[in-house]
Chain A
Protein backbone atom coordinates (compact mmCIF):
# COMPACT_ATOMS: atom_id res chain seq x y z
CA UNK A 1 0.00 0.00 0.00
CA UNK A 2 1.67 3.23 -1.07
CA UNK A 3 1.02 6.72 0.26
CA UNK A 4 -1.15 7.53 -2.76
CA UNK A 5 -3.52 4.68 -1.97
CA UNK A 6 -3.72 5.71 1.67
CA UNK A 7 -4.43 9.31 0.68
CA UNK A 8 -7.22 8.15 -1.64
CA UNK A 9 -8.71 5.92 1.04
CA UNK A 10 -8.54 8.73 3.60
CA UNK A 11 -10.14 11.12 1.11
CA UNK A 12 -12.95 8.67 0.38
CA UNK A 13 -13.65 7.87 4.01
CA UNK A 14 -13.41 11.54 5.00
CA UNK A 15 -15.68 12.51 2.13
CA UNK A 16 -18.35 9.97 3.02
CA UNK A 17 -18.17 10.89 6.73
CA UNK A 18 -18.63 14.52 5.77
CA UNK A 19 -21.64 13.65 3.64
CA UNK A 20 -23.03 11.47 6.42
CA UNK A 21 -22.66 14.38 8.80
CA UNK A 22 -24.49 16.63 6.36
CA UNK A 23 -27.19 13.97 6.06
CA UNK A 24 -27.64 13.90 9.83
CA UNK A 25 -27.63 17.71 9.98
CA UNK A 26 -30.21 17.89 7.19
CA UNK A 27 -32.45 15.68 9.32
CA UNK A 28 -32.09 18.16 12.16
CA UNK A 29 -29.66 16.08 14.23
CA UNK A 30 -26.32 17.08 15.71
CA UNK A 31 -23.85 15.10 13.52
CA UNK A 32 -21.40 14.49 16.38
CA UNK A 33 -24.16 13.24 18.61
CA UNK A 34 -25.34 10.95 15.80
CA UNK A 35 -21.85 9.52 15.25
CA UNK A 36 -21.50 8.96 18.98
CA UNK A 37 -24.81 7.11 19.10
CA UNK A 38 -23.78 5.10 16.05
CA UNK A 39 -20.62 4.02 17.88
CA UNK A 40 -22.39 3.30 21.17
CA UNK A 41 -25.16 1.40 19.45
CA UNK A 42 -22.80 -0.97 17.65
CA UNK A 43 -19.82 -1.66 19.90
CA UNK A 44 -20.66 0.34 23.06
CA UNK A 45 -21.48 -2.68 25.21
CA UNK A 46 -21.13 -6.46 25.23
CA UNK A 47 -24.72 -6.91 24.12
CA UNK A 48 -24.31 -4.38 21.30
CA UNK A 49 -21.07 -5.99 20.15
CA UNK A 50 -22.80 -9.34 20.18
CA UNK A 51 -25.55 -7.94 17.92
CA UNK A 52 -22.94 -6.53 15.56
CA UNK A 53 -21.23 -9.93 15.40
CA UNK A 54 -24.60 -11.53 14.61
CA UNK A 55 -24.67 -9.40 11.46
CA UNK A 56 -20.95 -9.82 10.85
CA UNK A 57 -21.23 -13.63 10.51
CA UNK A 58 -23.58 -13.85 7.49
CA UNK A 59 -22.12 -10.71 5.91
CA UNK A 60 -18.55 -12.02 6.10
CA UNK A 61 -19.57 -15.46 4.83
CA UNK A 62 -21.43 -13.86 1.92
CA UNK A 63 -18.38 -11.73 1.15
CA UNK A 64 -16.07 -14.77 1.34
CA UNK A 65 -18.40 -16.57 -1.07
CA UNK A 66 -18.30 -13.61 -3.43
CA UNK A 67 -14.50 -13.37 -3.35
CA UNK A 68 -14.39 -16.88 -4.81
CA UNK A 69 -16.91 -16.18 -7.57
CA UNK A 70 -15.53 -12.71 -8.36
CA UNK A 71 -12.08 -14.28 -8.76
CA UNK A 72 -13.53 -16.34 -11.59
CA UNK A 73 -14.95 -13.15 -13.09
CA UNK A 74 -18.53 -13.97 -12.08
CA UNK A 75 -21.16 -11.54 -10.75
CA UNK A 76 -22.86 -14.00 -8.46
CA UNK A 77 -25.95 -11.96 -7.60
CA UNK A 78 -27.59 -15.30 -6.81
CA UNK A 79 -25.79 -15.30 -3.46
CA UNK A 80 -29.00 -14.02 -1.81
CA UNK A 81 -30.95 -17.04 -3.03
CA UNK A 82 -28.13 -19.38 -2.05
CA UNK A 83 -28.29 -18.09 1.52
CA UNK A 84 -32.07 -18.64 1.55
CA UNK A 85 -31.77 -22.18 0.18
CA UNK A 86 -29.08 -22.87 2.78
CA UNK A 87 -31.51 -21.64 5.44
CA UNK A 88 -34.22 -23.92 4.04
CA UNK A 89 -31.82 -26.87 4.10
CA UNK A 90 -30.77 -26.16 7.68
CA UNK A 91 -34.40 -25.86 8.78
CA UNK A 92 -35.30 -29.12 7.04
CA UNK A 93 -32.47 -31.03 8.74
CA UNK A 94 -33.24 -29.46 12.12
CA UNK A 95 -36.85 -30.64 11.77
CA UNK A 96 -36.06 -34.13 10.48
CA UNK A 97 -32.91 -35.21 12.29
CA UNK A 98 -33.31 -36.37 15.88
CA UNK A 99 -30.72 -36.93 18.55
CA UNK A 100 -28.39 -34.77 20.61
CA UNK A 101 -27.44 -31.20 19.81
CA UNK A 102 -24.10 -32.06 18.23
CA UNK A 103 -25.73 -34.41 15.71
CA UNK A 104 -28.61 -32.08 14.81
CA UNK A 105 -26.40 -29.02 14.34
CA UNK A 106 -23.77 -30.87 12.32
CA UNK A 107 -26.46 -32.35 10.08
CA UNK A 108 -28.15 -28.97 9.61
CA UNK A 109 -24.90 -27.23 8.68
CA UNK A 110 -23.87 -29.98 6.25
CA UNK A 111 -27.28 -29.99 4.55
CA UNK A 112 -27.22 -26.18 4.32
CA UNK A 113 -23.79 -26.23 2.68
CA UNK A 114 -24.87 -28.86 0.16
CA UNK A 115 -28.14 -27.06 -0.59
CA UNK A 116 -26.44 -23.69 -1.14
CA UNK A 117 -23.81 -25.30 -3.29
CA UNK A 118 -26.32 -27.09 -5.53
CA UNK A 119 -28.40 -23.93 -5.88
CA UNK A 120 -25.32 -22.01 -6.98
CA UNK A 121 -24.40 -24.78 -9.42
CA UNK A 122 -27.81 -24.30 -11.01
CA UNK A 123 -26.85 -20.70 -11.82
CA UNK A 124 -23.49 -22.02 -13.02
CA UNK A 125 -25.10 -24.56 -15.36
CA UNK A 126 -27.45 -21.88 -16.71
CA UNK A 127 -24.43 -19.69 -17.41
CA UNK A 128 -22.03 -22.28 -18.81
CA UNK A 129 -24.46 -24.45 -20.78
CA UNK A 130 -27.50 -22.20 -21.20
CA UNK A 131 -25.74 -18.98 -22.07
CA UNK A 132 -27.74 -17.11 -19.41
CA UNK A 133 -25.79 -14.24 -17.88
CA UNK A 134 -25.12 -15.13 -14.23
CA UNK A 135 -26.62 -11.84 -13.04
CA UNK A 136 -30.03 -12.75 -14.44
CA UNK A 137 -29.84 -16.48 -13.82
CA UNK A 138 -28.90 -15.70 -10.22
CA UNK A 139 -31.70 -13.15 -9.86
CA UNK A 140 -34.27 -15.58 -11.22
CA UNK A 141 -33.09 -18.21 -8.78
CA UNK A 142 -33.24 -15.60 -5.96
CA UNK A 143 -36.94 -15.13 -6.72
CA UNK A 144 -37.53 -18.86 -6.85
CA UNK A 145 -35.73 -19.34 -3.51
CA UNK A 146 -37.82 -16.61 -1.89
CA UNK A 147 -40.94 -18.22 -3.34
CA UNK A 148 -39.92 -21.63 -1.98
CA UNK A 149 -39.26 -20.23 1.50
CA UNK A 150 -42.59 -18.39 1.51
CA UNK A 151 -44.40 -21.50 0.28
CA UNK A 152 -42.85 -23.67 3.00
CA UNK A 153 -43.69 -21.12 5.68
CA UNK A 154 -47.34 -20.70 4.73
CA UNK A 155 -47.73 -24.30 3.51
CA UNK A 156 -46.11 -27.53 4.72
CA UNK A 157 -44.12 -25.96 7.59
CA UNK A 158 -46.80 -23.53 8.76
CA UNK A 159 -47.01 -22.70 12.42
CA UNK A 160 -49.27 -24.81 14.57
CA UNK A 161 -52.71 -23.24 14.63
CA UNK A 162 -52.39 -20.28 12.30
CA UNK A 163 -50.31 -19.91 9.14
CA UNK A 164 -48.37 -16.67 9.14
CA UNK A 165 -45.69 -15.20 6.91
CA UNK A 166 -43.71 -14.24 10.01
CA UNK A 167 -42.02 -17.65 9.97
CA UNK A 168 -42.22 -21.26 11.06
CA UNK A 169 -42.41 -22.41 14.67
CA UNK A 170 -39.18 -22.07 16.63
CA UNK A 171 -36.79 -24.99 16.22
CA UNK A 172 -36.36 -27.30 19.17
CA UNK A 173 -33.59 -26.38 21.61
CA UNK A 174 -31.13 -29.00 20.33
CA UNK A 175 -30.90 -27.13 17.02
CA UNK A 176 -29.90 -23.80 18.61
CA UNK A 177 -26.20 -22.96 18.35
CA UNK A 178 -24.56 -22.79 21.80
CA UNK A 179 -24.26 -19.18 22.98
CA UNK A 180 -21.38 -17.34 24.58
CA UNK A 181 -22.56 -16.64 28.12
CA UNK A 182 -25.78 -14.65 28.01
CA UNK A 183 -25.03 -13.10 24.63
CA UNK A 184 -26.90 -13.91 21.44
CA UNK A 185 -23.80 -14.74 19.43
CA UNK A 186 -22.48 -18.29 19.23
CA UNK A 187 -18.83 -19.31 19.24
CA UNK A 188 -19.70 -21.97 16.64
CA UNK A 189 -20.72 -19.46 13.98
CA UNK A 190 -17.80 -17.17 14.86
CA UNK A 191 -15.33 -20.06 14.55
CA UNK A 192 -16.84 -21.26 11.28
CA UNK A 193 -16.73 -17.74 9.83
CA UNK A 194 -13.08 -17.21 10.81
CA UNK A 195 -12.21 -20.61 9.36
CA UNK A 196 -14.04 -19.79 6.12
CA UNK A 197 -12.24 -16.47 5.70
CA UNK A 198 -8.83 -18.05 6.34
CA UNK A 199 -9.70 -20.89 4.00
CA UNK A 200 -10.67 -18.56 1.16
CA UNK A 201 -7.60 -16.40 1.79
CA UNK A 202 -5.25 -19.39 1.58
CA UNK A 203 -7.08 -20.82 -1.43
CA UNK A 204 -6.76 -17.59 -3.39
CA UNK A 205 -3.26 -16.82 -2.27
CA UNK A 206 -1.31 -20.01 -1.99
CA UNK A 207 -2.77 -22.63 -4.32
CA UNK A 208 -2.51 -23.28 -8.04
CA UNK A 209 -6.29 -23.67 -8.03
CA UNK A 210 -6.71 -20.08 -6.86
CA UNK A 211 -4.23 -18.87 -9.44
CA UNK A 212 -6.03 -20.67 -12.26
CA UNK A 213 -9.37 -19.37 -11.01
CA UNK A 214 -8.02 -15.82 -11.22
CA UNK A 215 -6.66 -16.55 -14.69
CA UNK A 216 -10.16 -17.57 -15.79
CA UNK A 217 -11.53 -14.45 -14.18
CA UNK A 218 -9.16 -12.03 -15.82
CA UNK A 219 -9.40 -13.50 -19.32
CA UNK A 220 -11.39 -16.59 -20.20
CA UNK A 221 -9.88 -16.89 -23.67
CA UNK A 222 -6.24 -16.75 -22.68
CA UNK A 223 -6.92 -19.07 -19.74
CA UNK A 224 -8.43 -21.58 -22.16
CA UNK A 225 -5.43 -21.22 -24.46
CA UNK A 226 -3.21 -22.02 -21.48
CA UNK A 227 -5.10 -25.27 -21.12
CA UNK A 228 -7.28 -24.33 -18.15
CA UNK A 229 -10.77 -25.82 -18.48
CA UNK A 230 -12.57 -22.51 -17.90
CA UNK A 231 -16.09 -23.94 -17.73
CA UNK A 232 -15.14 -26.46 -15.07
CA UNK A 233 -13.38 -23.79 -13.02
CA UNK A 234 -16.40 -21.50 -13.19
CA UNK A 235 -18.66 -24.31 -12.03
CA UNK A 236 -16.32 -25.09 -9.14
CA UNK A 237 -16.30 -21.40 -8.19
CA UNK A 238 -20.11 -21.42 -8.15
CA UNK A 239 -20.15 -24.60 -6.07
CA UNK A 240 -17.65 -23.26 -3.53
CA UNK A 241 -19.30 -19.87 -3.32
CA UNK A 242 -22.69 -21.50 -2.87
CA UNK A 243 -21.30 -23.68 -0.07
CA UNK A 244 -20.19 -20.59 1.85
CA UNK A 245 -23.53 -18.88 1.20
CA UNK A 246 -25.33 -21.99 2.41
CA UNK A 247 -23.23 -21.89 5.57
CA UNK A 248 -24.36 -18.29 6.05
CA UNK A 249 -27.95 -19.48 5.71
CA UNK A 250 -27.45 -22.10 8.39
CA UNK A 251 -25.94 -19.47 10.72
CA UNK A 252 -29.04 -17.32 10.17
CA UNK A 253 -31.39 -20.19 11.06
CA UNK A 254 -29.47 -21.98 13.83
CA UNK A 255 -27.78 -18.96 15.40
CA UNK A 256 -30.12 -16.02 14.89
CA UNK A 257 -33.78 -16.53 13.88
CA UNK A 258 -34.07 -20.11 15.26
CA UNK A 259 -36.77 -20.63 12.63
CA UNK A 260 -37.25 -20.16 8.90
CA UNK A 261 -38.36 -16.65 7.96
CA UNK A 262 -39.21 -15.44 4.42
CA UNK A 263 -36.18 -13.13 4.22
CA UNK A 264 -33.52 -15.34 5.81
CA UNK A 265 -30.80 -13.68 3.76
CA UNK A 266 -31.62 -10.26 5.22
CA UNK A 267 -30.07 -8.56 2.19
CA UNK A 268 -26.59 -9.63 3.36
CA UNK A 269 -25.86 -11.17 -0.02
CA UNK A 270 -26.20 -7.81 -1.76
CA UNK A 271 -24.43 -5.97 1.05
CA UNK A 272 -21.64 -8.55 0.74
CA UNK A 273 -21.08 -7.37 -2.83
CA UNK A 274 -20.43 -3.86 -1.48
CA UNK A 275 -17.99 -5.29 1.07
CA UNK A 276 -16.07 -7.12 -1.64
CA UNK A 277 -16.01 -4.07 -3.92
CA UNK A 278 -14.61 -1.99 -1.06
CA UNK A 279 -12.07 -4.73 -0.31
CA UNK A 280 -11.02 -4.61 -3.96
CA UNK A 281 -11.78 -8.37 -4.20
CA UNK A 282 -9.12 -9.23 -1.58
CA UNK A 283 -9.97 -11.94 0.96
CA UNK A 284 -7.62 -10.40 3.53
CA UNK A 285 -9.77 -7.27 3.85
CA UNK A 286 -13.30 -8.66 3.97
CA UNK A 287 -13.40 -9.50 7.69
CA UNK A 288 -12.58 -5.96 8.95
CA UNK A 289 -14.70 -4.22 6.31
CA UNK A 290 -17.64 -6.53 7.02
CA UNK A 291 -17.25 -5.69 10.71
CA UNK A 292 -17.35 -1.98 9.92
CA UNK A 293 -20.47 -2.47 7.78
CA UNK A 294 -22.11 -4.64 10.43
CA UNK A 295 -21.42 -1.93 13.00
CA UNK A 296 -23.10 0.66 10.74
CA UNK A 297 -26.10 -1.61 10.17
CA UNK A 298 -26.59 -2.33 13.86
CA UNK A 299 -25.67 1.19 14.97
CA UNK A 300 -28.27 2.79 12.71
CA UNK A 301 -31.08 0.65 14.13
CA UNK A 302 -30.06 2.17 17.47
CA UNK A 303 -30.14 5.62 15.84
CA UNK A 304 -33.66 4.87 14.63
CA UNK A 305 -34.68 3.94 18.16
CA UNK A 306 -33.13 7.01 19.75
CA UNK A 307 -33.53 9.72 17.13
CA UNK A 308 -36.33 8.34 14.97
CA UNK A 309 -33.99 8.46 11.98
CA UNK A 310 -34.92 5.81 9.38
CA UNK A 311 -32.44 2.93 9.56
CA UNK A 312 -32.04 3.20 5.77
CA UNK A 313 -29.47 5.85 6.66
CA UNK A 314 -27.06 2.95 7.30
CA UNK A 315 -27.44 1.69 3.75
CA UNK A 316 -27.01 5.21 2.44
CA UNK A 317 -23.74 5.56 4.38
CA UNK A 318 -22.43 2.21 3.14
CA UNK A 319 -23.41 2.98 -0.44
CA UNK A 320 -21.84 6.45 -0.36
CA UNK A 321 -18.63 5.07 1.10
CA UNK A 322 -18.23 2.43 -1.62
CA UNK A 323 -19.20 4.87 -4.37
CA UNK A 324 -16.60 7.38 -3.16
CA UNK A 325 -13.88 4.77 -2.86
CA UNK A 326 -14.60 3.51 -6.40
CA UNK A 327 -14.65 7.03 -7.85
CA UNK A 328 -11.54 8.12 -5.94
CA UNK A 329 -9.69 4.99 -7.06
CA UNK A 330 -10.68 5.62 -10.67
CA UNK A 331 -9.62 9.24 -10.44
CA UNK A 332 -6.26 8.26 -8.98
CA UNK A 333 -5.65 5.70 -11.74
CA UNK A 334 -6.58 8.27 -14.35
CA UNK A 335 -4.04 10.73 -12.97
CA UNK A 336 -1.35 8.06 -12.85
CA UNK A 337 -2.08 7.02 -16.43
CA UNK A 338 -1.93 10.61 -17.60
CA UNK A 339 1.33 11.20 -15.75
CA UNK A 340 2.79 8.04 -17.27
CA UNK A 341 1.74 8.90 -20.80
CA UNK A 342 3.16 12.40 -20.39
CA UNK A 343 6.54 10.88 -19.59
CA UNK A 344 6.47 8.14 -22.19
CA UNK A 345 8.15 8.94 -25.53
CA UNK A 346 5.18 7.65 -27.54
CA UNK A 347 1.68 7.90 -26.14
CA UNK A 348 0.15 4.48 -25.99
CA UNK A 349 -3.28 3.29 -25.01
CA UNK A 350 -3.33 1.83 -21.55
CA UNK A 351 -5.94 -0.77 -20.89
CA UNK A 352 -8.45 0.34 -18.29
CA UNK A 353 -9.65 -1.69 -15.39
CA UNK A 354 -12.13 -4.27 -16.65
Chain B
Protein backbone atom coordinates (compact mmCIF):
# COMPACT_ATOMS: atom_id res chain seq x y z
CA UNK B 1 0.00 0.00 0.00
CA UNK B 2 3.02 2.26 0.07
CA UNK B 3 2.82 2.15 -3.71
CA UNK B 4 -0.48 2.00 -5.50
CA UNK B 5 -1.86 1.79 -8.98
CA UNK B 6 -4.58 4.39 -9.28
CA UNK B 7 -6.88 5.84 -11.91
CA UNK B 8 -6.85 9.59 -12.32
CA UNK B 9 -9.39 11.56 -14.34
CA UNK B 10 -7.30 14.29 -15.87
CA UNK B 11 -8.53 16.67 -18.55
CA UNK B 12 -11.33 14.30 -19.44
CA UNK B 13 -9.07 11.28 -19.83
CA UNK B 14 -8.76 8.29 -17.54
CA UNK B 15 -5.10 7.72 -16.78
CA UNK B 16 -3.70 4.79 -14.82
CA UNK B 17 -0.53 5.55 -12.90
CA UNK B 18 1.64 3.96 -10.27
CA UNK B 19 2.35 6.30 -7.40
CA UNK B 20 3.79 6.23 -3.93
CA UNK B 21 1.12 7.03 -1.37
CA UNK B 22 3.40 9.90 -0.44
CA UNK B 23 3.49 11.39 -3.95
CA UNK B 24 1.72 14.68 -4.41
CA UNK B 25 -0.72 15.26 -7.23
CA UNK B 26 1.76 17.77 -8.66
CA UNK B 27 4.49 15.15 -8.78
CA UNK B 28 2.17 12.66 -10.43
CA UNK B 29 0.78 14.91 -13.14
CA UNK B 30 4.20 16.29 -14.02
CA UNK B 31 6.33 13.21 -13.56
CA UNK B 32 3.92 10.43 -14.52
CA UNK B 33 1.62 12.13 -17.01
CA UNK B 34 4.08 14.62 -18.47
CA UNK B 35 1.70 17.50 -17.87
CA UNK B 36 4.32 20.07 -16.94
CA UNK B 37 2.07 23.11 -17.11
CA UNK B 38 1.55 23.08 -13.34
CA UNK B 39 4.78 24.38 -11.83
CA UNK B 40 6.59 23.69 -8.60
CA UNK B 41 7.29 27.01 -6.90
CA UNK B 42 7.43 26.18 -3.22
CA UNK B 43 5.95 22.66 -2.77
CA UNK B 44 4.47 24.13 0.37
CA UNK B 45 1.16 25.62 -0.68
CA UNK B 46 2.47 29.16 -0.52
CA UNK B 47 2.81 30.36 -4.12
CA UNK B 48 0.01 28.87 -6.23
CA UNK B 49 2.17 28.10 -9.29
CA UNK B 50 0.95 24.47 -9.22
CA UNK B 51 -2.76 25.35 -9.08
CA UNK B 52 -5.07 22.99 -10.97
CA UNK B 53 -8.82 22.56 -10.80
CA UNK B 54 -10.33 19.66 -8.85
CA UNK B 55 -14.08 19.14 -9.14
CA UNK B 56 -14.55 22.76 -10.07
CA UNK B 57 -12.42 24.29 -7.33
CA UNK B 58 -8.89 25.62 -7.52
CA UNK B 59 -6.41 23.31 -5.82
CA UNK B 60 -2.73 23.63 -5.10
CA UNK B 61 -1.58 20.32 -6.50
CA UNK B 62 1.45 20.35 -4.19
CA UNK B 63 -0.91 20.21 -1.20
CA UNK B 64 -2.82 17.18 -2.42
CA UNK B 65 -1.68 13.58 -2.51
CA UNK B 66 -2.19 11.91 -5.85
CA UNK B 67 -4.27 9.21 -4.19
CA UNK B 68 -6.60 11.85 -2.79
CA UNK B 69 -7.51 12.73 -6.36
CA UNK B 70 -8.95 9.31 -7.14
CA UNK B 71 -12.57 9.68 -8.19
CA UNK B 72 -12.24 13.40 -8.78
CA UNK B 73 -12.11 15.41 -11.98
CA UNK B 74 -8.77 17.11 -12.36
CA UNK B 75 -8.27 19.84 -14.93
CA UNK B 76 -4.82 21.22 -15.59
CA UNK B 77 -3.83 24.17 -17.75
CA UNK B 78 -3.37 21.70 -20.60
CA UNK B 79 -7.09 20.95 -20.34
CA UNK B 80 -8.13 24.52 -21.11
CA UNK B 81 -8.72 25.23 -24.77
CA UNK B 82 -9.09 28.78 -25.98
CA UNK B 83 -10.83 30.02 -22.88
CA UNK B 84 -11.57 33.73 -22.60
CA UNK B 85 -9.25 34.04 -19.60
CA UNK B 86 -6.28 32.71 -21.57
CA UNK B 87 -6.93 35.24 -24.32
CA UNK B 88 -7.42 38.00 -21.75
CA UNK B 89 -4.06 37.20 -20.18
CA UNK B 90 -2.40 37.62 -23.58
CA UNK B 91 -4.19 40.84 -24.50
CA UNK B 92 -3.57 42.47 -21.15
CA UNK B 93 0.11 41.53 -20.90
CA UNK B 94 -0.79 39.74 -17.68
CA UNK B 95 2.42 37.74 -17.58
CA UNK B 96 6.08 38.16 -18.27
CA UNK B 97 8.22 35.16 -17.41
CA UNK B 98 5.11 32.97 -17.57
CA UNK B 99 6.01 30.67 -14.71
CA UNK B 100 3.13 31.61 -12.42
CA UNK B 101 0.75 31.91 -15.38
CA UNK B 102 -0.75 28.40 -15.54
CA UNK B 103 -1.52 28.51 -11.83
CA UNK B 104 -2.93 32.02 -12.03
CA UNK B 105 -5.06 31.15 -15.03
CA UNK B 106 -6.42 28.01 -13.36
CA UNK B 107 -7.38 30.03 -10.30
CA UNK B 108 -8.98 32.79 -12.42
CA UNK B 109 -10.77 30.19 -14.51
CA UNK B 110 -12.26 28.58 -11.40
CA UNK B 111 -13.24 31.97 -10.02
CA UNK B 112 -15.05 32.89 -13.22
CA UNK B 113 -16.96 29.61 -13.16
CA UNK B 114 -17.87 29.74 -9.47
CA UNK B 115 -18.49 33.48 -9.17
CA UNK B 116 -19.33 34.91 -12.58
CA UNK B 117 -20.37 38.12 -10.84
CA UNK B 118 -17.38 38.36 -8.50
CA UNK B 119 -16.82 41.76 -6.92
CA UNK B 120 -13.45 43.30 -6.08
CA UNK B 121 -13.35 41.75 -2.64
CA UNK B 122 -14.01 38.27 -3.98
CA UNK B 123 -11.45 38.68 -6.73
CA UNK B 124 -8.86 39.74 -4.17
CA UNK B 125 -9.74 36.92 -1.83
CA UNK B 126 -9.25 34.35 -4.56
CA UNK B 127 -6.27 35.80 -6.36
CA UNK B 128 -4.13 36.48 -3.32
CA UNK B 129 -3.52 32.73 -3.32
CA UNK B 130 -0.99 33.09 -6.14
CA UNK B 131 2.26 35.00 -6.36
CA UNK B 132 3.34 36.75 -9.53
CA UNK B 133 6.82 38.20 -9.22
CA UNK B 134 6.99 39.91 -12.60
CA UNK B 135 3.88 42.02 -12.99
CA UNK B 136 2.52 44.54 -10.54
CA UNK B 137 -0.82 42.61 -10.60
CA UNK B 138 -2.80 45.35 -12.36
CA UNK B 139 -2.52 43.55 -15.68
CA UNK B 140 -3.89 40.38 -14.09
CA UNK B 141 -6.68 42.37 -12.50
CA UNK B 142 -7.57 43.84 -15.89
CA UNK B 143 -7.50 40.41 -17.53
CA UNK B 144 -9.83 38.76 -15.02
CA UNK B 145 -12.18 41.72 -14.92
CA UNK B 146 -12.39 41.87 -18.70
CA UNK B 147 -13.73 38.32 -18.69
CA UNK B 148 -16.07 38.86 -15.73
CA UNK B 149 -17.52 41.95 -17.40
CA UNK B 150 -18.50 39.90 -20.42
CA UNK B 151 -20.60 37.61 -18.22
A binds B: no
